[in-house]
Amino acid sequence: MAILVPTKKTTRMVSDILREPFGNVPPISHAAAVDMEGPILAAEIIAFLLQQRGHEGCFDEFVELMCSYFHGRGGATPTKGDMDEAARFRKALVKWNECLAKGQAVPGNSVLQRTYAVHQATAALTFTGDPDADLVAVRGVLDAGACQRLKDVAKDVRNVRLLERGTQLRQGLAQDWRDIGGYGNALAITRQSFVQEHFATAHKPESGIVVMNMHKAKGKQFDEVIIFEGWPKRVKNEVVRNPDRIVLGNVHDGAMTQARQNFRVSVTRAKTRTTIMTPRDDVCVLLRAAPA
């Protein structure tokens, strides 16, 4: 079954909802077709922390991985905000190291203060040799820490279902533990697992429940399809914003050729049934009669 949505943001939102228990409903296993650059770079940060290397320059390497995450999570077109954030972190690291070299206290207002605190908290973890439990422990420290950027990393890494990489990642980490009593090669093992999975699943048909952007569904087929779109943001009963809709803003605007094409493709992906979920009080314009 596919849940098809109009925007990347909605893909992540639906995936996050399915991943968490709701009342008596347990988490729903699914695959989310999100852009992978950010989640993979987030997984590399988790893997690096799993290595727990306390050598000189360890924190520098950690910050550089974070900068790579900022640069790469937007794919080929990083946002100005992410580029500025990477530059800000690198500048702060230079100042941080200058203070340490002079035996001075690092700036109390440094952007790296909270990042360093989380880094130290992961270094204090005691691992068990169970890759699943240890990966969850690292991610939990990031999620509970005071650094919002590392909270984003913890959230992003959920989108790659790091613990569901299959036996290759688990076996690699478990063997690393047996060989050296730790995860000294976790970063290399994690990177290799993504490379191998890419080639193994490039042409693999979807199964189970899949959440994806509508335009990515072209050429695919599912037993059943649910088309789900966002809803208007209202202030005093007036629509002030209408993001994440099948038609941008949910307003009639000329022929709306691309939106109609995406909608037509999505509806016809189902073998047996398509269900369209649209706000009752602001129905998708493609389901309404055009204005006279």
Q: Please give the chain's pLDDT, 292 residues, in tens.
A: 999 999 988 988 898 889 888 888 898 988 887 777 888 899 999 999 999 777 788 999 999 999 999 998 887 788 899 999 999 999 999 999 999 999 999 999 999 999 999 999 999 999 999 998 999 999 999 999 999 999 999 988 876 665 555 577 888 999 999 999 999 999 999 988 887 765 555 555 677 899 999 988 888 999 999 999 999 998 888 888 888 999 989 988 877 888 999 999 999 999 999 999 999 989 999 998 766 6
- Among 201, 234, 253, the domain-final residue is 201
Same domain, yes or no: 163 and 92: yes
How do 31-33 and 2-5 pair as beta strands? unpaired
- The answer to whether position 28 is within a domain reads no
Give the Cα separation of 47 and 183 in Å (integer).
9
- The answer to whether position 168 is within a domain reads yes
pLDDT computed for residue 169 by the predictor = 82
Burial (CB < 10 A; 0-12, 13-18, 19+), residue 109, is: exposed
pLDDT computed for residue 55 by the predictor = 79
User: In this structure, what DSSP letter does residue 57 have?
Assistant: T
Counting the structural domains of the chain, the total is 2
How do 233-235 and 222-228 pair as beta strands? unpaired
What is the CB neighbour count within 10 angstroms for residue 152?
17
Radius of gyration of the chain (CA): 22
pLDDT computed for residue 203 by the predictor = 53
Same domain, yes or no: 172 and 214: no
Residue range(s) defining the domain that contains residue 250: 2-9+208-287
Same domain, yes or no: 191 and 212: no
- The answer to whether position 213 is within a domain reads yes
Residues β-bridged to residue 277: 228
Same domain, yes or no: 269 and 227: yes
- The answer to whether position 17 is within a domain reads no
pLDDT computed for residue 10 by the predictor = 92
The helix/strand count (H/E) of the chain reads as 10, 7
Q: Is 94 left (phi over 0), alpha (psi -120 to 50) or beta?
A: alpha
> Where do the DSSP E strands lie in the chain?
2-5, 31-33, 210-213, 222-228, 233-235, 238-241, 270-277
How do 270-277 and 238-241 pair as beta strands? unpaired
- The answer to whether position 85 is within a domain reads yes
pLDDT computed for residue 200 by the predictor = 53
Give the Cα separation of 159 and 36 in Å (integer).
8
- Among 156, 178, 201, the domain-final residue is 201
Same domain, yes or no: 216 and 176: no
Give the Cα separation of 66 and 153 in Å (integer).
9
